[in-house]
Amino acid sequence: MLRAAVAALACLYLARTSPAEPYSLRAYSLSTQNPKDISKILTSIEERLKVLDTVSAAQEKQSRRLDAIQDKLDRVETTVTLKLERAQLAAERLEHRIHMLQTNIQTTIKESSEKLERSQAKITELTLNLTSHIEKHKHLLEKVNGAYADTWHRGLVLESLMRDGLSLVNVTRRELADGLRALARRQRDARITSAELEEKFARRLNDNTYKIDLKVLLIILYTSNVEKNNIRVRCLMLLSSLNIVRNEILTIVMVRQFQDQ
């Protein structure tokens, strides 16, 4: 139908544009069709033209809407592209920051691992030093314990030697007293001269002094340097007591000589 309308419109257009043969076209149209049919055709053509106008108007509206939609789509596309570009820039910046953070983390991990290795090496060195110092102190404690035991043993030996020395001094005193008494009795009985008495007293005193000196030397040999000072003091006290005994004996001898005279 659309083709027929287009053909009719083309015929009308040709009829209007060709004024040279109006009579022949009218005669042909009058001869072929009557006026009622022509009016019907014209009305149908007008109706179809109206339909075409409405269709064209609808198409224009639709094209306008499509243009508006296209404009909106273009705007949306531009905004989306801008947002995508911004997002891409943000992603690039974020990627750069992540890369920098990763490098920093790797460097810090490397430095911390190196510090940990150095600290472990220092800890091992400290443990070795501590073990060596502990062993040294252990050896020193063992030496101190041995020295203390040795000192204790020497102290016991020294105490026994001092007791022996004191007992020897007491024995010497008793022997000297007994000797003096015996000599006095012998002098009274046998009338021994003072020179012989003095000689016997000196011999006995020298023998006892020699024994005491031997005991003192043994005490000094069995003691350490720290103990020697104490022993020297005790030996000096012992020698002073012996000198006192010797002086007493000499005074007794002198008294006896004076009495004999």
Interatomic CA distance for residues 112 and 132, integer angstroms: 30
Token pair listed for 177: 């007293």
pLDDT, residue 82, reads 92
Contacts of residue 197, Cβ cutoff 8 Å, sequence gap at least 6: 183, 187, 253, 256, 257
CA–CA distances in Å: residue 197 to residues 17, 192, 245, 250: 200, 7, 17, 11
pLDDT, residue 141, reads 85
- Mean pLDDT of successive 10-residue stretches along the chain, which has 261 residues: 52 51 44 65 81 84 87 89 91 91 90 89 89 86 84 80 75 73 67 59 68 64 57 63 66 60 52
- pLDDT tens profile 186-224: 666 655 455 565 666 667 666 766 666 666 666 656 555
Q: What angle do CA 63, 69, 70 make, to 5 degrees?
A: 85
pLDDT, residue 152, reads 84
Token pair listed for 204: 């006995």
Q: Residue 144's Cα: distance from chain center in Å?
A: 36
Output the 3-class SS for 158-213. HHHHHHHHHHHHHHHHHHHHHHHHHHHHHHHHHCCCHHHHHHHHHHHHHHHHHHHH
CA–CA distances in Å: residue 151 to residues 135, 165, 234: 24, 20, 18
- pLDDT tens profile 106-120: 998 999 889 989 988
Ordered by start, the domain boundaries in the chain are 2-86, 143-260
Reported pTM? 0.33
Cα end-to-end span (Å), the chain: 199
pLDDT, residue 97, reads 92
Q: Which residue, 211, 216, 258, is CA-closest to 235? A: 216
3-state secondary structure of 7: helix
pLDDT, residue 18, reads 46
pLDDT, residue 173, reads 72
Token pair listed for 183: 């000599």
